Amino acid sequence: MSQHFYKVEAFWDSEARVWVAESEDVPGLATEADTIEALTDKLRKMIPELLNLNGIVEQFTFV
């Protein structure tokens, strides 16, 4: 099984006071959360869904 890597950038927006994540590798990915833990939880759900919806991959496993 081959591995593919998708770059996701996360940063703290001090003006909005939230963590923000976006990615050029995962079309449609742009989200925010109050904590880095909440952001990570959101990303674990969103990334597989977006990759599937965009026809990039059918199955996705975090490593």
Q: Report residue 4's pLDDT band, with 50, 70 and 90 as the boundaries.
A: confident
Domain ranges of the chain: 9-53
DSSP state of 24: S
Question: Is the whole model's pTM more than 0.75, yes or no?
Answer: yes
Report the Cα 5 to chain-centroid distance in Å.
Answer: 12
Per-residue pLDDT tens over the stretch 18-62: 999 999 999 999 999 999 999 999 999 999 999 999 999 877 666
CATH number assigned to the domain with residue range 9-53, chosen from the 4 options 3.30.2390.10, 3.40.50.10480, 3.30.470.30, 3.40.50.150: 3.30.2390.10
pLDDT value at 1 more than 60: no
